[in-house]
Amino acid sequence: MAKPPLSMKPTGWFQVAWSDEIGVGDVHKMKYFDQELVAWRAESGQLTVMNAYCEHLGAHLGYGGKVVGEVLQCPFHGWQWSHEGRNVCIPYQDRPNRGRRIRTYPVVERNASVYIWHDIQGRAPYFEAPDVFASFGDGSSVDDYYPQQRLYRERLELHPQYVLENGVDFAHFKYVHGTPIVPVFTRHDFDAPVSFVDFTITFEGDDGQKIEDVNSGVEAINGGLGVAVTKSWGMVDNRTISAITPVDESTSDVRFMVYIGRKESKDPARAEARAREFGQEVIRQFEQDVHIWQHQRYSDPPALATDEYRGFTAIRNWAKQFYPDGIGGSAAEVYAAIQKG
């Protein structure tokens, strides 16, 4: 176990809650990126995520703050704050304080998750959080799937990048997940903040089969470092979302979600029970990874096998754009040095 050497203040979309945890009128306390935060849902349903401390005398709005219509009212002296974090009412003065503002975060609700845009330079979002259905452009929707199944692990000593590197790490599938043969990558596209990785993989058969004969695989879309979605083909229809969010300088919260495709069945209850079981199996496989990540020490520069350079170089170079200091892992430098001889 070791504190990640990569910045815990990366730029991008990060999950901070599930939508159903914050009903109308709720004020939800959270800590991410070393900040105390609150999320509150107005009468209209609109969700706001903001820093937790009142700009008046610093009360924590998560302890007694109240939603009043479309504003959040501080428990200490009743000042009211809008969706934009502006002070709109001081109850004992005829004018609000127009100058003071509580920092708010761009927020989207998608696939039952709440994502915030985090950027320490305060830039507006410049890419979108991926959608586990729409981003694949195949006309699928949540109605084609059984209810979302979830895993939530709090404050593990790991970094979001560990989880994404799994996507280019072909060798671990055999050892961590027990696949009979090593998968092969058919696409590595790290040109933009949203990147794509496809691979051919099977969980069935023995180690005598050839990967060329395998007819199943996974497509992954990484929306920055915080949120990745996957779609399977040629196996039990499943989609997953993994979302890793830094809490402080050494830990992150891990959320993982699975959808299993609905199937026509004479016995719908049994079909749904089987889908639940399969979903639990997918979660169990993800937990096998978590078990490694939470005890891992990030290796930089890593010792890599020849075939590993391409994928790790691509993902570590790509990851650098999300760090405030522009520094990610150094697999890329190692590769360049080897090329030079």
Residue ranges in contact with ligand FES by CB under 6 A: 54, 56-59, 74, 76-77, 79
Q: Are 151 and 242 in contact (CB under 8 A)?
A: no
Rounded CA-CA distance 269/271 in Å is: 5
Q: What is the DSSP letter of 93?
A: S
| Contact of residue 200 among Fe ion, ligand FES, none (CB under 5-8 Å per partner type) | none
For residue 103, the minimal CB distance to ligand FES (Å) is 15
Query: Could you tell me the end-to-end alpha-carbon distance of the chain, in angstroms, rounded to an integer?
Result: 34
For residue 322, the minimal CB distance to ligand FES (Å) is 34
Q: Are 205 and 215 in contact (CB under 8 A)?
A: no
Give whichever of 66 and 153 is closer to Fe ion, judged by the CB atom.
Answer: 153
| Contact of residue 289 among ligand FES, Fe ion, none (CB under 5-8 Å per partner type) | Fe ion
Give whichever of 24 and 57 is closer to ligand FES, judged by the CB atom.
Answer: 57
Give whichever of 92 and 122 is closer to ligand FES, judged by the CB atom.
Answer: 92
Give whichever of 37 and 228 is closer to Fe ion, judged by the CB atom.
Answer: 228
Give whichever of 125 and 167 is closer to Fe ion, judged by the CB atom.
Answer: 167
For residue 184, the minimal CB distance to Fe ion (Å) is 15
| Contact of residue 54 among Fe ion, ligand FES, none (CB under 5-8 Å per partner type) | ligand FES
Q: Which residue has the tokens 């004018």?
A: 95
| Residue from 282, 236, 240 nearest 257 by CA | 240
Residues 6+ apart with CB under 8 A from 99: none
Looking at this protein, which amino acid is placed at residue 51?
N
Give whichever of 171 and 336 is closer to Fe ion, judged by the CB atom.
Answer: 171
Give whichever of 111 and 240 is closer to Fe ion, judged by the CB atom.
Answer: 240
For residue 97, the minimal CB distance to ligand FES (Å) is 10
| Contact of residue 77 among ligand FES, Fe ion, none (CB under 5-8 Å per partner type) | ligand FES
Q: Where are the alpha helices (DSSP H) in 148-299?
A: 160-165, 172-176, 268-293
Cis check: omega of the bond before 301, within 30 degrees of 0: yes
Give whichever of 89 and 151 is closer to Fe ion, judged by the CB atom.
Answer: 151
Rounded CA-CA distance 103/96 in Å is: 17
Angle between helices 309-319 and 331-340 (to 10 degrees): 130
For residue 46, the minimal CB distance to ligand FES (Å) is 21
Q: Where are the alpha helices (DSSP H) in 167-267?
A: 172-176
| Contact of residue 56 among ligand FES, Fe ion, none (CB under 5-8 Å per partner type) | ligand FES
Looking at this protein, which amino acid is placed at residue 279?
G
Cα distances from 289 to residues 178, 239, 261, 341, in angstroms, run 12, 17, 23, 35
For residue 45, the minimal CB distance to ligand FES (Å) is 25
For residue 44, the minimal CB distance to ligand FES (Å) is 23
Backbone dihedral region of 135: left (phi > 0), alpha (psi from -120 to 50 degrees) or beta?
Answer: alpha
For residue 261, the minimal CB distance to ligand FES (Å) is 49
| Contact of residue 166 among Fe ion, ligand FES, none (CB under 5-8 Å per partner type) | Fe ion
Give whichever of 58 and 268 is closer to ligand FES, judged by the CB atom.
Answer: 58
Rounded CA-CA distance 1/250 in Å is: 10
User: Which residues make up the interface to Fe ion (CB under 5 A)?
Assistant: 166, 289
For residue 170, the minimal CB distance to Fe ion (Å) is 10
Residue nearest to Fe ion (CB): 289
Strand 149-156 versus strand 252-260 pairing type: antiparallel
Residues 6+ apart with CB under 8 A from 270: none
| Contact of residue 59 among Fe ion, ligand FES, none (CB under 5-8 Å per partner type) | ligand FES
